[in-house]
């Protein structure tokens, strides 16, 4: 697939240097004092180190995210296998009002009463702001395909597409999700990335994991508000759970 | 309520913490009646497991009485006496459906952490670090058990806690080890480690048709238990070259199956020991794999090596050449308790399996620090410490 690693790196020289040095330091610092807060850092450090050494970012690579391409459009593709019949998985997604239940950045989706192909989407943005748009279903093949697109006038132009197919070994339904965001003309891609999480590819993976958990297990597993020796934390979380 | 919280290396404290609450209609609240300090807890105690937070309630081998159930829980009700495996399983993903519940796709709230490390995440575990879900553990008066319909197994009437407790973790782990060993009648099975996991692997090897069981450890009380309770021939790794001895004992061939029930903190003297300890301290290697290296070298050509001791990250000097050139099968993993508990309870009721024998010491939750220190040092002939709550 790749014949010339020299010209085919998707990381710039500075970014690569930062990855190498930063990755090594972060990894060492994190491993020195193991705790919950350092593990993700340690893993991230290892990843940065790898990325520096490998001269290209495997995540960007796999997801076809190219920076500085195409006016900063952001394209994320993710896949998951759900151990439920295809019709059921499709039906759950087809009701867009279900999406905020597993897509973290979505605050709400309201399907128009008069036309179930039209919907209004509200997402959470930094500093308590929201970003909104109207969307319409542009393709619908029962049990197989859903595609939607924001209508003109959206804060952030975007579209999404989900394909549903049976896993060949009978282990359920494979969903292939593609999301694409185009920031307002001239806005750097970083702005979009901020909106949809620092790591959109990680966020979509987490969203799909929650989708799978709801479809299969009936709930998203949580330890929120559980007990521990961290009394203040327990009290705070329980207050939030009660809606205080 | 009272609970044992982790605060760092060799620092566990019995404290007053808030009672658990239910957060899902599939939850239950259990009054824990007994629990045990597993070898895995010693890895936490020694600071070998990352993603622990100060104040985490630990412990994962337990049984108790149901006090409250959510409205989606149908198989158990308040007052039932139940055994719960050390992990959480959803019961519906492809792995749960085939009985491999420790590979559950849906029970680890922090799956992303282990996905970064391992590619995919196993199930969530009770009291075993935030990477494995961060669920509060069982060294407490009460605990929240998610997915109660999947995780709670009714205790057969007429048996004491001591007779059933190990069905939660040590016994299914040992049984799974023997099953993975793929034993054909009359074959020889060698087991490294005579803690409860190794001892149950020995008992299970007999149940599954082994012709001979050989146990390896260095603690006299444990070797004695392996010989007297589990019918094993024993080797003290401080006194003999284990690989040489095993090959000699098996007509020059090596054991047909080798079960490693020691894990990442294996003991070893000499140069090899010093080498790995330095690397582990510098975190250039996370696990010390002596027993595993020996198991691979001793195993006969075409044999099976089962890794039941816990490993977390990376090891050094892993004998891949021996695995390749002898065509070994390696099987490993966390125990699928949900799959094995019904079978183990049947063995108990048929009088074919005694699960009580590894218990040597009994403590209250207030004595947690002592229980952990004795367990770590393997002093006072301790094999397994149990808390009576
Ligand atoms: N796979 C699972 O699901 C699962 C479940 C429970 C426990 N475990 C793991 O199994 C292992 C054993 O658990 P346990 O409760 O029996 O622990 P334990 O600490 O009581 O027993 C370990 C034994 O290994 C012996 N040992 C140390 N170095 C050795 C060596 N080089 N050769 C032979 N023996 C050696 C020790 O003397 C000790 O008796 C631990 O790693 C634990 O984390 C795994
Ligand atoms: Zn255990
Ligand atoms: Zn599952």
- Claim to verify: residue B81 and residue B187 sit in the same structural domain: no
Extended strands (E) in A22-168: 74-82, 106-111, 118-124, 130-141, 145-150, 157-166
- Claim to verify: residue B103 and residue B224 sit in the same structural domain: no
Q: Which residues of B touch A222 (CB under 8 A)?
A: 23-24, 109
Which residue from A39, A213, A228 is facing B17, i.e. has the nearest CB?
Answer: A228
Amino acid B285: pLDDT = 77
- Claim to verify: residue B126 and residue B202 sit in the same structural domain: no
* Position with higher pLDDT, A38 vs B329: B329
* Position with higher pLDDT, B317 vs B292: B292
Q: List residues bridging with B126 in a β-sheet.
A: B135
Q: Which of B50, B133, B119 is nearest to B90 (CA)?
A: B133
Q: Give residue B272 CA to ligand 1 midpoint distance, Å.
A: 19
Is residue A89 over pLDDT 70?
Answer: yes
- Domain ends where: B332, B353, B376? B332
Q: Work out the pLDDT band at A16, boundaries 50, 70, 90.
A: very low
Is residue A133 over pLDDT 60?
Answer: yes
Ligand closest to Cα of B121 equals 3
Q: Work out the pLDDT band at A27, boundaries 50, 70, 90.
A: very low
Asked if A221 lies within 8 A of B5 by C-beta distance, the reply is: no
CA A102 vs CA A35, A86, A135, A205: distances in Å:
28, 18, 19, 11
Structural domain containing residue B136: 2-169+335-388
State which residue of chain A sits closest to B142, comparing Cα positions.
A227
Q: Which of B150, B154, B175 is nearest to B355 (CA)?
A: B175
Asked if A34 lies within 8 A of B20 by C-beta distance, the reply is: no
Amino acid B282: pLDDT = 76
What is the nearest CA distance from B102 to chain A, expressed in angstroms?
A: 15
Retrieve residue B233's tokens.
């021939």
Using the Cβ of B47 and the Cβ atoms of chain A, whether some distance falls under 8 Å is answered with yes
For B342-361, the pLDDT digits (tens) are: 999 999 999 999 999 999 99
- Domain ends where: B332, B357, B375? B332
Amino acid A52: pLDDT = 40
Amino acid A36: pLDDT = 44
- 8 A C-beta contact, residue B140 and residue B2: yes
Which residue from B1, B130, B135 is facing A36, i.e. has the nearest CB?
Answer: B130
* Position with higher pLDDT, B12 vs B284: B12
- Claim to verify: residue B144 and residue B276 sit in the same structural domain: no
Asked if B133 lies within 8 A of A223 by C-beta distance, the reply is: yes
Amino acid A188: pLDDT = 59
CATH number reported for the structural domain that contains residue B221 in this entry: 3.40.50.720
**Ligand 1 near B298 CB (within 6 A):** no
- Claim to verify: residue B155 and residue B288 sit in the same structural domain: no
Mean pLDDT of B163-171: 98
Q: Which residues of A touch B52 (CB under 8 A)?
A: 34-36
- Claim to verify: residue B314 and residue B383 sit in the same structural domain: no
- Claim to verify: residue B249 and residue B122 sit in the same structural domain: no
- Claim to verify: residue B232 and residue B301 sit in the same structural domain: yes
Mean pLDDT of B371-382: 97
Is residue A99 over pLDDT 60?
Answer: yes
Mean pLDDT of B139-158: 98
Amino acid B336: pLDDT = 98
CATH number reported for the structural domain that contains residue B156 in this entry: 3.90.180.10
Q: Work out the pLDDT band at A106, boundaries 50, 70, 90.
A: very high
- 8 A C-beta contact, residue B361 and residue B338: no
| pLDDT > 70 fraction of chain B, expressed in percent and rounded | 100
- Claim to verify: residue B362 and residue B322 sit in the same structural domain: no
Which residue from B7, B51, B136 is facing A39, i.e. has the nearest CB?
Answer: B51
- Claim to verify: residue B7 and residue B154 sit in the same structural domain: yes
CA-to-CA distance for B96 and B309, rounded, in angstroms?
Answer: 22
Using the Cβ of A229 and the Cβ atoms of chain B, whether some distance falls under 8 Å is answered with yes
Ligand closest to Cα of B60 equals 2
Amino acid B276: pLDDT = 79
- Claim to verify: residue B147 and residue B11 sit in the same structural domain: yes
Is residue B175 over pLDDT 80?
Answer: yes
pTM of the prediction? 0.88
How many separate domains does chain B show? 2
B1, B74, B90, best to mutate vs chain A, most A CBs in 10 Å: B90
- Claim to verify: residue B193 and residue B293 sit in the same structural domain: yes
Amino acid A129: pLDDT = 81
- Given 3-state DSSP classes, what are the helix, strand and coil percentages for chain B, each rounded to the nearest 5? 35, 25, 45
Is residue A23 over pLDDT 70?
Answer: no
- Domain ends where: B332, B357, B377? B332
Is residue A218 over pLDDT 60?
Answer: yes
Is residue B79 over pLDDT 50?
Answer: yes
Mean pLDDT of B21-25: 97
Is residue B212 over pLDDT 80?
Answer: yes
CA A2 vs CA A6, A58, B60, B352, B356: distances in Å:
10, 13, 48, 60, 60
């Amino acid at each position: 697939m790749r014949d010339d690693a020299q010209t085919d790196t998707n990381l710039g020289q500075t970014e690569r240097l930062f990855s190498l040095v930063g990755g090594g330091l972060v990894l060492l610092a994190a491993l020195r004092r193991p705790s919950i807060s350092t593990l993700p850092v340690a893993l991230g450090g290892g990843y940065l180190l790898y990325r520096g050494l490998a001269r290209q970012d495997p995540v960007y690579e796999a997801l076809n995210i190219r920076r500085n391409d195409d006016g900063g459009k952001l394209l994320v593709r993710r896949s998951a296998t759900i151990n439920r019949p295809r019709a059921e998985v499709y039906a759950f997604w087809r009701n867009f009002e279900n999406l905020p239940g597993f897509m973290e950045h979505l605050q709400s989706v309201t399907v128009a009463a008069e036309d179930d192909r039209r919907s209004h989407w509200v997402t959470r943005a930094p500093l308590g702001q929201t970003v909104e748009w109207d969307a319409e279903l542009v393709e619908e093949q029962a049990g197989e395909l859903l595609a939607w697109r924001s209508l003109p006038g959206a804060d952030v132009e975007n579209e999404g597409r989900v394909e549903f197919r049976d896993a060949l070994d009978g282990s359920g339904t494979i969903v292939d999700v593609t999301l694409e965001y185009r920031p307002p003309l001239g806005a750097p891609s970083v702005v979009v990335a901020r909106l949809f999480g620092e790591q959109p590819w990680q966020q979509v993976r987490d969203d799909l994991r929650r989708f799978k958990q709801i479809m299969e297990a009936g709930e998203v597993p949580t330890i929120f508000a559980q007990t521990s020796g961290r009394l203040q934390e327990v009290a705070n979380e329980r207050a939030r759970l009660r809606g205080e | 309520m009272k609970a044992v919280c982790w605060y760092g290396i060799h620092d566990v404290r019995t404290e007053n913490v808030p009672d658990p609450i239910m957060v899902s209609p599939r939850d239950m609240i259990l009054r824990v009646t007994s629990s045990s300090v597993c070898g895995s807890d010693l890895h936490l105690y020694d600071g070998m497991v990352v993603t622990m937070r100060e104040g985490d309630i630990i412990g994962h081998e337990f049984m108790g009485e149901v006090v409250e159930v959510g409205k989606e829980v149908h198989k158990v009700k308040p007052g039932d006496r139940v055994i719960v495996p050390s992990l959480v399983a959803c019961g519906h993903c492809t792995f749960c459906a085939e009985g491999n519940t420790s590979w559950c796709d849906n029970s680890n709230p922090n799956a992303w952490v282990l996905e970064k490390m391992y590619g995919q995440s196993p199930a969530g575990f009770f009291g075993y670090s935030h990477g494995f879900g961060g669920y509060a553990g069982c060294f407490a008066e009460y605990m929240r058990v998610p997915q109660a319909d999947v995780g709670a197994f009714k205790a057969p009437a007429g048996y004491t806690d001591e007779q059933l407790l190990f069905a939660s973790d040590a016994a299914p782990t040992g049984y799974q080890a023997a099953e993975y060993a793929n034993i054909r009648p009359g074959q020889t099975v060698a087991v490294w480690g005579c803690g409860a996991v190794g001892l149950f692997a020995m008992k299970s090897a007999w149940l599954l048709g082994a012709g001979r069981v050989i146990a390896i450890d260095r603690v006299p009380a444990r070797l004695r238990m392996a010989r007297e309770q589990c019918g094993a021939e024993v080797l003290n790794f401080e006194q003999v070259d284990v690989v040489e001895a095993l090959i000699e004992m098996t007509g020059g061939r090596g054991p047909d199956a080798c079960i490693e029930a020691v894990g990442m903190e294996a003991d070893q003297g000499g140069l090899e020991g010093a080498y790995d300890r330095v690397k582990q301290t510098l975190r250039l290697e996370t696990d010390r794999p002596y027993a595993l290296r020996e198991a691979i070298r001793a195993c006969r050509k075409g044999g099976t090596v089962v890794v039941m001791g816990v490993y977390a990250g990376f090891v050094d000097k892993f004998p891949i050449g021996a695995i390749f050139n002898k065509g070994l099968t390696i099987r490993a993993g966390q125990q699928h308790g949900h799959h094995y508990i019904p079978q183990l309870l049947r063995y108990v009721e048929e009088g074919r399996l005694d699960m009580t024998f590894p218990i040597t010491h009994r403590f209250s939750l207030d004595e947690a620090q002592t229980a952990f220190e004795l367990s770590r040092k393997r002093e006072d002939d301790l094999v397994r410490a149990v808390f009576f709550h």
